[in-house]
Structure 1
Amino acid sequence: MAALIVGFFLTALLYASVGFGGGSTYTALLALSEVDYRILPLLSLACNIVVVAGSSVRFARARVTPWRGALLLTATAAPAAFLGGLTPIGESAFLTILGGSLVLTAITLILPTGDGPVSGPTRFARAMPFLAVPLGYLAGLVGIGGGIFLAPFLHLTKWNSARAIAATASLFILVNSLFGIAGQLLKGGAGRLGAAVELGLPLLIAVAVGGQIGSFLALKYLPQRWIRLGTAALTGWVGVRLLLNF
Protein backbone atom coordinates (compact mmCIF):
# COMPACT_ATOMS: atom_id res chain seq x y z
CA MET A 1 0.00 0.00 0.00
CA ALA A 2 2.89 2.39 0.74
CA ALA A 3 4.14 2.17 -2.86
CA LEU A 4 0.62 2.79 -4.16
CA ILE A 5 0.21 5.87 -1.96
CA VAL A 6 3.50 7.29 -3.25
CA GLY A 7 2.48 6.56 -6.84
CA PHE A 8 -0.86 8.34 -6.39
CA PHE A 9 0.85 11.30 -4.72
CA LEU A 10 3.33 11.72 -7.61
CA THR A 11 0.62 11.27 -10.23
CA ALA A 12 -1.59 13.92 -8.64
CA LEU A 13 1.38 16.28 -8.31
CA LEU A 14 2.29 15.96 -11.99
CA TYR A 15 -1.22 16.01 -13.43
CA ALA A 16 -2.45 18.90 -11.27
CA SER A 17 0.51 20.95 -12.43
CA VAL A 18 -0.75 20.73 -16.03
CA GLY A 19 -4.45 21.11 -15.21
CA PHE A 20 -5.64 17.49 -15.30
CA GLY A 21 -6.89 14.92 -12.79
CA GLY A 22 -4.79 11.79 -13.47
CA GLY A 23 -7.65 9.28 -13.47
CA SER A 24 -6.22 7.02 -16.18
CA THR A 25 -2.89 6.63 -14.36
CA TYR A 26 -4.59 6.01 -10.99
CA THR A 27 -6.59 3.21 -12.61
CA ALA A 28 -3.49 1.69 -14.19
CA LEU A 29 -1.53 1.78 -10.93
CA LEU A 30 -4.38 0.00 -9.19
CA ALA A 31 -4.59 -2.59 -11.97
CA LEU A 32 -0.86 -3.27 -11.77
CA SER A 33 -1.31 -3.73 -8.01
CA GLU A 34 -3.93 -6.43 -8.77
CA VAL A 35 -6.81 -4.59 -7.15
CA ASP A 36 -10.23 -5.90 -8.26
CA TYR A 37 -10.79 -4.17 -11.62
CA ARG A 38 -14.49 -3.64 -10.85
CA ILE A 39 -13.75 -1.05 -8.16
CA LEU A 40 -10.97 0.74 -10.05
CA PRO A 41 -13.21 3.33 -11.76
CA LEU A 42 -14.82 4.30 -8.45
CA LEU A 43 -11.46 4.99 -6.84
CA SER A 44 -9.97 6.77 -9.85
CA LEU A 45 -12.98 8.99 -10.47
CA ALA A 46 -13.09 9.95 -6.79
CA CYS A 47 -9.40 10.90 -6.93
CA ASN A 48 -10.10 12.92 -10.07
CA ILE A 49 -12.75 14.90 -8.24
CA VAL A 50 -10.42 15.66 -5.32
CA VAL A 51 -7.68 16.95 -7.67
CA VAL A 52 -9.72 19.03 -10.14
CA ALA A 53 -12.37 20.48 -7.83
CA GLY A 54 -9.92 23.04 -6.48
CA SER A 55 -8.66 23.88 -9.96
CA SER A 56 -12.19 24.47 -11.24
CA VAL A 57 -12.92 26.84 -8.37
CA ARG A 58 -9.67 28.77 -8.91
CA PHE A 59 -10.36 29.17 -12.63
CA ALA A 60 -13.89 30.34 -11.92
CA ARG A 61 -12.72 32.90 -9.36
CA ALA A 62 -10.12 34.18 -11.82
CA ARG A 63 -12.93 34.57 -14.39
CA VAL A 64 -11.10 32.64 -17.10
CA THR A 65 -13.71 29.87 -17.53
CA PRO A 66 -15.59 30.35 -20.84
CA TRP A 67 -18.88 29.28 -19.32
CA ARG A 68 -21.02 29.09 -22.44
CA GLY A 69 -18.66 26.81 -24.37
CA ALA A 70 -17.49 24.86 -21.32
CA LEU A 71 -21.02 24.09 -20.18
CA LEU A 72 -22.03 23.00 -23.68
CA LEU A 73 -19.16 20.51 -23.87
CA THR A 74 -19.72 19.29 -20.34
CA ALA A 75 -23.49 18.92 -20.69
CA THR A 76 -22.99 16.93 -23.89
CA ALA A 77 -20.47 14.57 -22.31
CA ALA A 78 -22.03 14.04 -18.86
CA PRO A 79 -24.92 11.72 -19.91
CA ALA A 80 -22.45 9.64 -21.91
CA ALA A 81 -20.19 9.39 -18.83
CA PHE A 82 -23.17 8.12 -16.85
CA LEU A 83 -23.91 5.50 -19.50
CA GLY A 84 -20.24 4.51 -19.57
CA GLY A 85 -20.36 3.95 -15.82
CA LEU A 86 -23.41 1.72 -16.24
CA THR A 87 -21.90 -0.38 -19.02
CA PRO A 88 -20.74 -3.88 -17.99
CA ILE A 89 -17.22 -4.65 -19.21
CA GLY A 90 -14.96 -7.69 -18.89
CA GLU A 91 -11.52 -7.49 -17.32
CA SER A 92 -9.58 -8.09 -20.55
CA ALA A 93 -11.47 -5.41 -22.47
CA PHE A 94 -11.17 -3.02 -19.52
CA LEU A 95 -7.39 -3.40 -19.27
CA THR A 96 -6.88 -3.17 -23.04
CA ILE A 97 -8.88 0.05 -23.31
CA LEU A 98 -7.13 1.46 -20.26
CA GLY A 99 -3.63 0.67 -21.53
CA GLY A 100 -4.42 2.14 -24.93
CA SER A 101 -5.88 5.29 -23.38
CA LEU A 102 -2.71 5.79 -21.33
CA VAL A 103 -0.47 5.56 -24.39
CA LEU A 104 -2.71 8.06 -26.21
CA THR A 105 -2.63 10.29 -23.13
CA ALA A 106 1.18 10.34 -23.21
CA ILE A 107 1.07 11.37 -26.87
CA THR A 108 -1.42 14.19 -26.22
CA LEU A 109 0.80 15.57 -23.47
CA ILE A 110 3.71 16.16 -25.86
CA LEU A 111 1.58 17.84 -28.53
CA PRO A 112 1.93 21.64 -28.85
CA THR A 113 -0.49 23.44 -26.56
CA GLY A 114 -0.98 26.52 -28.68
CA ASP A 115 -0.03 29.01 -26.01
CA GLY A 116 0.38 31.83 -28.52
CA PRO A 117 -2.25 34.40 -29.47
CA VAL A 118 -5.62 33.00 -30.49
CA SER A 119 -6.45 34.07 -34.04
CA GLY A 120 -9.98 32.72 -33.85
CA PRO A 121 -11.55 29.26 -33.79
CA THR A 122 -11.30 27.07 -36.87
CA ARG A 123 -14.38 25.60 -38.49
CA PHE A 124 -13.56 22.26 -36.85
CA ALA A 125 -14.15 23.81 -33.41
CA ARG A 126 -17.90 23.49 -34.04
CA ALA A 127 -17.53 19.70 -33.94
CA MET A 128 -16.20 19.68 -30.38
CA PRO A 129 -19.58 18.89 -28.72
CA PHE A 130 -19.81 15.75 -30.89
CA LEU A 131 -16.30 14.72 -29.85
CA ALA A 132 -17.26 15.22 -26.20
CA VAL A 133 -19.76 12.33 -26.35
CA PRO A 134 -17.29 9.44 -26.86
CA LEU A 135 -14.84 11.08 -24.45
CA GLY A 136 -17.55 11.23 -21.80
CA TYR A 137 -18.46 7.59 -22.38
CA LEU A 138 -14.82 6.53 -22.07
CA ALA A 139 -14.52 8.58 -18.89
CA GLY A 140 -17.34 6.69 -17.19
CA LEU A 141 -16.35 3.28 -18.54
CA VAL A 142 -12.74 3.06 -17.31
CA GLY A 143 -12.57 5.78 -14.68
CA ILE A 144 -10.92 8.77 -16.35
CA GLY A 145 -12.06 12.36 -16.73
CA GLY A 146 -11.60 12.69 -20.48
CA GLY A 147 -10.24 16.22 -20.28
CA ILE A 148 -6.71 15.15 -21.12
CA PHE A 149 -7.99 14.01 -24.54
CA LEU A 150 -10.32 16.95 -25.03
CA ALA A 151 -7.74 19.68 -24.36
CA PRO A 152 -5.38 18.88 -27.30
CA PHE A 153 -8.30 18.99 -29.75
CA LEU A 154 -9.40 22.33 -28.32
CA HIS A 155 -5.87 23.68 -28.82
CA LEU A 156 -5.57 22.30 -32.35
CA THR A 157 -8.88 23.85 -33.40
CA LYS A 158 -8.02 27.17 -31.66
CA TRP A 159 -11.20 26.84 -29.63
CA ASN A 160 -10.07 29.46 -27.10
CA SER A 161 -7.02 30.70 -25.19
CA ALA A 162 -4.74 28.26 -23.36
CA ARG A 163 -6.00 29.33 -19.92
CA ALA A 164 -9.64 29.07 -21.01
CA ILE A 165 -8.99 25.57 -22.37
CA ALA A 166 -7.34 24.50 -19.11
CA ALA A 167 -10.35 25.80 -17.19
CA THR A 168 -12.72 23.97 -19.53
CA ALA A 169 -10.76 20.70 -19.18
CA SER A 170 -10.92 20.94 -15.38
CA LEU A 171 -14.69 21.45 -15.41
CA PHE A 172 -15.09 18.66 -18.00
CA ILE A 173 -13.13 16.23 -15.80
CA LEU A 174 -15.01 17.22 -12.65
CA VAL A 175 -18.51 16.77 -14.07
CA ASN A 176 -17.69 13.61 -16.04
CA SER A 177 -16.17 12.06 -12.92
CA LEU A 178 -19.30 12.81 -10.88
CA PHE A 179 -21.60 11.32 -13.52
CA GLY A 180 -19.27 8.36 -14.06
CA ILE A 181 -19.30 7.55 -10.35
CA ALA A 182 -23.11 7.70 -10.32
CA GLY A 183 -23.24 5.13 -13.13
CA GLN A 184 -20.62 2.92 -11.47
CA LEU A 185 -22.54 2.95 -8.19
CA LEU A 186 -25.80 1.96 -9.87
CA LYS A 187 -24.01 -0.86 -11.68
CA GLY A 188 -22.00 -2.19 -8.74
CA GLY A 189 -24.14 -1.48 -5.71
CA ALA A 190 -23.18 -0.87 -2.10
CA GLY A 191 -20.76 -3.81 -1.92
CA ARG A 192 -18.27 -2.26 -4.33
CA LEU A 193 -18.69 1.14 -2.69
CA GLY A 194 -17.72 -0.32 0.67
CA ALA A 195 -14.63 -1.99 -0.78
CA ALA A 196 -13.63 1.20 -2.56
CA VAL A 197 -14.00 3.30 0.60
CA GLU A 198 -11.96 0.84 2.66
CA LEU A 199 -9.06 0.94 0.21
CA GLY A 200 -9.44 4.50 -1.02
CA LEU A 201 -9.17 6.83 1.98
CA PRO A 202 -5.33 6.98 2.18
CA LEU A 203 -5.20 7.33 -1.61
CA LEU A 204 -7.62 10.26 -1.56
CA ILE A 205 -5.48 11.97 1.07
CA ALA A 206 -2.37 11.36 -1.05
CA VAL A 207 -3.88 12.93 -4.19
CA ALA A 208 -5.29 15.87 -2.22
CA VAL A 209 -1.82 16.72 -0.92
CA GLY A 210 -0.08 15.96 -4.23
CA GLY A 211 -2.56 18.03 -6.20
CA GLN A 212 -2.06 21.09 -4.01
CA ILE A 213 1.73 20.82 -4.22
CA GLY A 214 1.59 20.33 -7.99
CA SER A 215 -0.50 23.46 -8.47
CA PHE A 216 1.88 25.46 -6.26
CA LEU A 217 5.04 24.25 -8.06
CA ALA A 218 3.54 24.95 -11.47
CA LEU A 219 2.62 28.49 -10.53
CA LYS A 220 5.87 29.35 -8.75
CA TYR A 221 8.80 27.33 -10.04
CA LEU A 222 8.60 24.67 -12.76
CA PRO A 223 8.28 25.37 -16.52
CA GLN A 224 5.10 23.87 -17.96
CA ARG A 225 6.99 22.06 -20.74
CA TRP A 226 9.17 20.15 -18.27
CA ILE A 227 6.15 19.15 -16.24
CA ARG A 228 4.23 17.97 -19.31
CA LEU A 229 7.17 15.87 -20.51
CA GLY A 230 7.58 14.32 -17.07
CA THR A 231 3.88 13.53 -16.91
CA ALA A 232 3.98 12.05 -20.42
CA ALA A 233 6.93 9.83 -19.47
CA LEU A 234 5.14 8.51 -16.38
CA THR A 235 1.87 7.94 -18.21
CA GLY A 236 3.49 6.25 -21.23
CA TRP A 237 5.59 3.96 -19.04
CA VAL A 238 2.58 2.82 -17.01
CA GLY A 239 0.45 2.32 -20.14
CA VAL A 240 3.06 0.26 -21.96
CA ARG A 241 3.73 -1.83 -18.87
CA LEU A 242 0.02 -2.49 -18.47
CA LEU A 243 -0.33 -3.60 -22.10
CA LEU A 244 2.75 -5.83 -21.90
CA ASN A 245 1.52 -7.47 -18.68
CA PHE A 246 -1.89 -8.11 -20.18
Structure 2
Amino acid sequence: MAALIAGFFVTALLYASVGFGGGSTYTALLALSAVDYRVLPLLSLACNIVVVAGSTVRFARAEITPWRGAIMLTAIAAPAAFLGGLTPIGQSAFLAILGASLLLTALTLVLPSQASADSDPTRLARFMPLLAVPLGYLAGLVGIGGGIFLAPFLHLTKWNSARAIAATASLFILVNSLFGLAGQLLKGGAERLGAAVDLGLPLLIAVAIGGQIGSFLALKYLPQRWIRLGTAALTGWVGARLLLNL
Protein backbone atom coordinates (compact mmCIF):
# COMPACT_ATOMS: atom_id res chain seq x y z
CA MET A 1 0.00 0.00 0.00
CA ALA A 2 2.88 2.37 0.78
CA ALA A 3 4.25 1.98 -2.77
CA LEU A 4 0.81 2.70 -4.25
CA ILE A 5 0.41 5.83 -2.12
CA ALA A 6 3.86 7.01 -3.22
CA GLY A 7 2.97 6.35 -6.87
CA PHE A 8 -0.23 8.40 -6.57
CA PHE A 9 1.66 11.22 -4.87
CA VAL A 10 4.30 11.40 -7.63
CA THR A 11 1.65 11.14 -10.37
CA ALA A 12 -0.41 13.98 -8.89
CA LEU A 13 2.73 16.11 -8.47
CA LEU A 14 3.78 15.64 -12.09
CA TYR A 15 0.36 16.00 -13.69
CA ALA A 16 -0.61 19.02 -11.61
CA SER A 17 2.65 20.63 -12.73
CA VAL A 18 1.44 20.52 -16.34
CA GLY A 19 -2.20 21.33 -15.59
CA PHE A 20 -3.84 17.90 -15.74
CA GLY A 21 -5.39 15.42 -13.30
CA GLY A 22 -3.57 12.11 -13.89
CA GLY A 23 -6.62 9.84 -13.96
CA SER A 24 -5.30 7.39 -16.55
CA THR A 25 -2.08 6.81 -14.61
CA TYR A 26 -3.92 6.36 -11.31
CA THR A 27 -6.05 3.71 -12.99
CA ALA A 28 -3.00 1.96 -14.42
CA LEU A 29 -1.17 1.94 -11.08
CA LEU A 30 -4.21 0.35 -9.45
CA ALA A 31 -4.47 -2.22 -12.24
CA LEU A 32 -0.80 -3.15 -11.85
CA SER A 33 -1.48 -3.55 -8.11
CA ALA A 34 -4.18 -6.17 -8.89
CA VAL A 35 -7.08 -4.05 -7.60
CA ASP A 36 -10.50 -5.11 -8.97
CA TYR A 37 -10.71 -3.35 -12.35
CA ARG A 38 -14.38 -2.45 -11.74
CA VAL A 39 -13.36 -0.24 -8.81
CA LEU A 40 -10.53 1.54 -10.63
CA PRO A 41 -12.54 4.29 -12.39
CA LEU A 42 -14.24 5.27 -9.13
CA LEU A 43 -10.91 5.94 -7.45
CA SER A 44 -9.24 7.54 -10.46
CA LEU A 45 -12.08 9.94 -11.19
CA ALA A 46 -12.28 10.93 -7.51
CA CYS A 47 -8.52 11.63 -7.52
CA ASN A 48 -8.91 13.67 -10.71
CA ILE A 49 -11.54 15.83 -9.01
CA VAL A 50 -9.27 16.46 -6.01
CA VAL A 51 -6.30 17.47 -8.19
CA VAL A 52 -8.02 19.74 -10.73
CA ALA A 53 -10.67 21.39 -8.55
CA GLY A 54 -8.16 23.85 -7.10
CA SER A 55 -6.64 24.76 -10.45
CA THR A 56 -10.09 25.28 -11.97
CA VAL A 57 -10.96 27.75 -9.21
CA ARG A 58 -7.60 29.53 -9.56
CA PHE A 59 -8.06 29.95 -13.32
CA ALA A 60 -11.58 31.29 -12.77
CA ARG A 61 -10.48 33.78 -10.12
CA ALA A 62 -7.70 35.00 -12.38
CA GLU A 63 -10.29 35.49 -15.15
CA ILE A 64 -8.32 33.26 -17.52
CA THR A 65 -11.08 30.76 -18.34
CA PRO A 66 -12.76 31.47 -21.72
CA TRP A 67 -16.19 30.62 -20.37
CA ARG A 68 -18.20 30.54 -23.58
CA GLY A 69 -15.93 28.09 -25.40
CA ALA A 70 -15.01 26.09 -22.31
CA ILE A 71 -18.61 25.58 -21.25
CA MET A 72 -19.60 24.55 -24.78
CA LEU A 73 -16.92 21.84 -24.95
CA THR A 74 -17.58 20.65 -21.41
CA ALA A 75 -21.37 20.59 -21.74
CA ILE A 76 -21.14 18.46 -24.88
CA ALA A 77 -18.70 16.01 -23.28
CA ALA A 78 -20.36 15.62 -19.86
CA PRO A 79 -23.38 13.49 -20.94
CA ALA A 80 -21.00 11.24 -22.89
CA ALA A 81 -18.85 10.86 -19.76
CA PHE A 82 -21.95 9.81 -17.82
CA LEU A 83 -22.81 7.22 -20.48
CA GLY A 84 -19.23 5.98 -20.44
CA GLY A 85 -19.48 5.47 -16.70
CA LEU A 86 -22.65 3.44 -17.16
CA THR A 87 -21.22 1.22 -19.92
CA PRO A 88 -20.33 -2.37 -18.87
CA ILE A 89 -16.88 -3.47 -20.05
CA GLY A 90 -14.83 -6.64 -19.65
CA GLN A 91 -11.45 -6.65 -17.94
CA SER A 92 -9.35 -7.37 -21.06
CA ALA A 93 -11.04 -4.62 -23.09
CA PHE A 94 -10.78 -2.22 -20.17
CA LEU A 95 -7.04 -2.78 -19.74
CA ALA A 96 -6.36 -2.64 -23.49
CA ILE A 97 -8.18 0.70 -23.86
CA LEU A 98 -6.45 2.03 -20.75
CA GLY A 99 -2.98 0.97 -21.93
CA ALA A 100 -3.53 2.52 -25.36
CA SER A 101 -4.82 5.74 -23.80
CA LEU A 102 -1.71 5.95 -21.62
CA LEU A 103 0.60 5.65 -24.63
CA LEU A 104 -1.42 8.36 -26.40
CA THR A 105 -1.19 10.48 -23.25
CA ALA A 106 2.60 10.16 -23.32
CA LEU A 107 2.59 11.28 -26.96
CA THR A 108 0.42 14.33 -26.25
CA LEU A 109 2.79 15.42 -23.50
CA VAL A 110 5.74 15.68 -25.89
CA LEU A 111 3.79 17.58 -28.57
CA PRO A 112 4.29 21.37 -28.75
CA SER A 113 1.91 23.20 -26.42
CA GLN A 114 2.29 26.81 -27.50
CA ALA A 115 -0.60 28.89 -28.76
CA SER A 116 -0.71 32.62 -29.28
CA ALA A 117 -3.54 34.85 -28.21
CA ASP A 118 -2.72 37.05 -31.24
CA SER A 119 -3.06 34.30 -33.84
CA ASP A 120 -6.35 33.48 -35.49
CA PRO A 121 -7.90 30.02 -34.93
CA THR A 122 -7.62 27.62 -37.86
CA ARG A 123 -10.68 26.32 -39.67
CA LEU A 124 -10.46 23.07 -37.72
CA ALA A 125 -11.00 24.90 -34.41
CA ARG A 126 -14.75 25.00 -35.06
CA PHE A 127 -14.86 21.18 -35.03
CA MET A 128 -13.45 20.80 -31.51
CA PRO A 129 -16.93 20.20 -30.01
CA LEU A 130 -17.14 17.00 -32.12
CA LEU A 131 -13.93 15.77 -30.52
CA ALA A 132 -15.33 16.45 -27.04
CA VAL A 133 -17.91 13.66 -27.34
CA PRO A 134 -15.57 10.63 -27.67
CA LEU A 135 -13.19 12.14 -25.13
CA GLY A 136 -16.03 12.51 -22.64
CA TYR A 137 -17.13 8.92 -23.22
CA LEU A 138 -13.57 7.65 -22.73
CA ALA A 139 -13.32 9.69 -19.53
CA GLY A 140 -16.28 7.92 -17.96
CA LEU A 141 -15.42 4.49 -19.32
CA VAL A 142 -11.87 4.06 -18.00
CA GLY A 143 -11.52 6.84 -15.43
CA ILE A 144 -9.66 9.68 -17.16
CA GLY A 145 -10.60 13.34 -17.48
CA GLY A 146 -9.97 13.68 -21.22
CA GLY A 147 -8.39 17.12 -20.98
CA ILE A 148 -4.92 15.81 -21.68
CA PHE A 149 -6.15 14.63 -25.12
CA LEU A 150 -8.24 17.72 -25.79
CA ALA A 151 -5.53 20.29 -25.03
CA PRO A 152 -3.08 19.32 -27.84
CA PHE A 153 -5.84 19.62 -30.45
CA LEU A 154 -6.82 23.02 -29.07
CA HIS A 155 -3.18 24.12 -29.36
CA LEU A 156 -2.76 22.74 -32.88
CA THR A 157 -5.89 24.53 -34.10
CA LYS A 158 -4.93 27.77 -32.26
CA TRP A 159 -8.27 27.62 -30.46
CA ASN A 160 -7.13 30.18 -27.88
CA SER A 161 -4.06 31.25 -25.88
CA ALA A 162 -1.99 28.66 -24.00
CA ARG A 163 -3.29 29.81 -20.59
CA ALA A 164 -6.90 29.81 -21.78
CA ILE A 165 -6.46 26.27 -23.12
CA ALA A 166 -5.00 25.13 -19.79
CA ALA A 167 -8.00 26.62 -17.99
CA THR A 168 -10.40 24.94 -20.41
CA ALA A 169 -8.70 21.56 -20.01
CA SER A 170 -8.91 21.88 -16.23
CA LEU A 171 -12.66 22.58 -16.33
CA PHE A 172 -13.14 19.80 -18.89
CA ILE A 173 -11.39 17.27 -16.62
CA LEU A 174 -13.30 18.37 -13.53
CA VAL A 175 -16.78 18.15 -15.05
CA ASN A 176 -16.12 14.95 -17.01
CA SER A 177 -14.76 13.32 -13.87
CA LEU A 178 -17.87 14.31 -11.90
CA PHE A 179 -20.26 12.97 -14.56
CA GLY A 180 -18.18 9.86 -15.18
CA LEU A 181 -18.09 9.15 -11.45
CA ALA A 182 -21.88 9.51 -11.26
CA GLY A 183 -22.27 6.94 -14.03
CA GLN A 184 -19.80 4.56 -12.40
CA LEU A 185 -21.65 4.82 -9.08
CA LEU A 186 -24.99 4.01 -10.71
CA LYS A 187 -23.44 1.05 -12.53
CA GLY A 188 -21.52 -0.36 -9.57
CA GLY A 189 -23.87 0.21 -6.67
CA ALA A 190 -23.10 0.30 -2.97
CA GLU A 191 -20.77 -2.71 -2.97
CA ARG A 192 -18.16 -1.17 -5.27
CA LEU A 193 -18.53 2.19 -3.58
CA GLY A 194 -17.72 0.56 -0.26
CA ALA A 195 -14.62 -1.11 -1.71
CA ALA A 196 -13.49 2.18 -3.24
CA VAL A 197 -13.95 4.06 0.05
CA ASP A 198 -11.96 1.45 1.98
CA LEU A 199 -8.99 1.82 -0.35
CA GLY A 200 -9.38 5.40 -1.44
CA LEU A 201 -8.90 7.73 1.54
CA PRO A 202 -5.08 7.54 1.81
CA LEU A 203 -4.82 7.81 -1.99
CA LEU A 204 -6.99 10.93 -2.05
CA ILE A 205 -4.83 12.51 0.66
CA ALA A 206 -1.69 11.64 -1.33
CA VAL A 207 -2.96 13.25 -4.54
CA ALA A 208 -4.22 16.32 -2.69
CA ILE A 209 -0.75 16.94 -1.23
CA GLY A 210 1.08 15.98 -4.43
CA GLY A 211 -1.15 18.21 -6.54
CA GLN A 212 -0.49 21.25 -4.38
CA ILE A 213 3.26 20.66 -4.40
CA GLY A 214 3.26 20.13 -8.17
CA SER A 215 1.45 23.42 -8.78
CA PHE A 216 3.90 25.25 -6.53
CA LEU A 217 6.99 23.74 -8.16
CA ALA A 218 5.72 24.48 -11.65
CA LEU A 219 5.16 28.12 -10.79
CA LYS A 220 8.38 28.68 -8.88
CA TYR A 221 11.19 26.36 -9.91
CA LEU A 222 10.91 23.68 -12.58
CA PRO A 223 10.90 24.28 -16.37
CA GLN A 224 7.68 23.10 -17.99
CA ARG A 225 9.54 21.09 -20.66
CA TRP A 226 11.36 19.00 -18.04
CA ILE A 227 8.14 18.32 -16.17
CA ARG A 228 6.27 17.32 -19.34
CA LEU A 229 9.03 14.94 -20.44
CA GLY A 230 9.18 13.34 -16.99
CA THR A 231 5.41 12.91 -16.93
CA ALA A 232 5.47 11.44 -20.46
CA ALA A 233 8.16 8.94 -19.44
CA LEU A 234 6.15 7.77 -16.40
CA THR A 235 2.91 7.52 -18.38
CA GLY A 236 4.46 5.68 -21.33
CA TRP A 237 6.20 3.17 -19.05
CA VAL A 238 3.01 2.36 -17.14
CA GLY A 239 0.98 2.07 -20.35
CA ALA A 240 3.52 -0.29 -21.92
CA ARG A 241 3.54 -2.41 -18.76
CA LEU A 242 -0.23 -2.78 -18.91
CA LEU A 243 -0.28 -3.79 -22.58
CA LEU A 244 2.56 -6.27 -22.14
CA ASN A 245 0.72 -7.90 -19.24
CA LEU A 246 -2.45 -8.55 -21.27
Q: TM-score, normalised by structure 1?
A: 0.99
Deviation at 1:114, TM superposition (A): 1.6
RMSD: 0.6
Q: Tell me, yes or no, if structure 1 residue 138 matches structure 2 residue 132.
A: no
1:168-207 map, 5 Å: 168-207=168-207
1:2 — aligned with what?
Answer: 2
1:124 — aligned with what?
Answer: 124
2:239 — aligned with what?
Answer: 239
Q: Tell me, yes or no, if structure 1 residue 41 matches structure 2 residue 53.
A: no
The 2-side partners of 1:15 and 1:118 are apart by 28
Deviations 1:115-169, CA, capped at 9 Å, x for gaps: 4454111110000001000000000000000000000000000000000000000
CA contact (8 A) 1:106 1:232 kept: yes
1:210 — aligned with what?
Answer: 210
1:150 — aligned with what?
Answer: 150
1:227 — aligned with what?
Answer: 227
TM-aligned CA distance change 1:35 to 1:112, over 3 Å: same
Deviations 1:80-131, CA, capped at 9 Å, x for gaps: 0000000000000000000000000000000000244541111100000010
CA contact (8 A) 1:10 1:210 kept: yes
CA contact (8 A) 2:115 2:158 kept: no
SS in 1 for 2:39: helix
The 2-side partners of 1:94 and 1:120 are apart by 39
1:24 — aligned with what?
Answer: 24
Structure 1 residue identity aligned to 2:71: L
1:69 — aligned with what?
Answer: 69
The 2-side partners of 1:31 and 1:115 are apart by 35
Structure 2 residue identity aligned to 1:172: F
The 1-side partners of 2:117 and 2:144 are apart by 30
The 2-side partners of 1:185 and 1:15 are apart by 25
Q: TM-score, normalised by structure 2?
A: 0.99
SS in 2 for 1:76: helix
CA contact (8 A) 1:118 1:158 kept: no
Structure 2 residue identity aligned to 1:40: L
Structure 1 residue identity aligned to 2:107: I
Structure 1 runs not aligned, ≥5 long: none
CA contact (8 A) 2:154 2:165 kept: yes
Identity %: 87
Deviations 1:150-201, CA, capped at 9 Å, x for gaps: 0000000000000000000000000000000000001000110010000000
SS in 2 for 1:175: helix
The 2-side partners of 1:57 and 1:194 are apart by 29
Deviations 1:23-59, CA, capped at 9 Å, x for gaps: 0000000000000000000000000000000000000
1:78 — aligned with what?
Answer: 78
SS in 1 for 2:38: helix
The 1-side partners of 2:233 and 2:115 are apart by 21
SS in 2 for 1:20: coil
